Amino acid sequence: MDTTTLIRVIAGLIFFAIILAIPLTAGILIGKDANARGMNGLGWGIGVFAVFIVFLPLYFVVRKPLLSQVPQYSAPSFPPVTPVIGYCTNCGSPLPVGSRFCSGCGTTTSKPPVT
């Protein structure tokens, strides 16, 4: 088993643990709450846990795409305007925001962008 496979297995287990931890926590909390009220804590806890296990995957199946992923309008045909923070001291090419090197000559920008 190589390192990449091992990392994927571990990541999968962590993801699975998180998925399980949410209904488990909710089930335990509601179970304790039900016990404190003289109700069937074990039954309510298992019930909440079971419903979560059913509805959590169901949610990921039936949920709609994010609004930001749904195209609201047709994309503009022209390229987006890149804000320019300055010009290369060596060749005078405009330097867009976030550039560390001049795209024209490769000179390191005099003012590196703060991250």
Instruction: Tell me the window of 32-40, 51-59, 76-84, 88-96 that interacts with Zn ion (CB under 5 A).
Output: 88-96
Token pair for 64 = 């709609």
Q: In the complex, what is the shortest distance from the CB of residue 110 to Zn ion, in angstroms, rounded to a whole number?
A: 11
Q: In the complex, what is the shortest distance from the CB of residue 89 to Zn ion, in angstroms, rounded to a whole number?
A: 8
Token pair for 5 = 């496979």
| Residue of the chain from 19, 46, 90, 96 that contacts Zn ion (CB under 5 A) | 90
For residue 6, give Cα distances in angstroms to 1, 15, 18: 7, 14, 18
Separation CA 78–CA 38 (nearest Å): 67
**Helices 3-36 and 41-62, packing angle to 10 deg:** 130
| Residue of the chain from 44, 88, 95, 99 that contacts Zn ion (CB under 5 A) | 88
| Residue of the chain from 27, 45, 102, 109 that contacts Zn ion (CB under 5 A) | 102
# residues near Zn ion by CB under 5 A: 8
Q: Report whether 52 contacts 22 (CB < 8 A).
A: yes
Residues at the contact surface with Zn ion, assessed by CB under 5 A: 88, 90-91, 93, 102, 104-105, 107
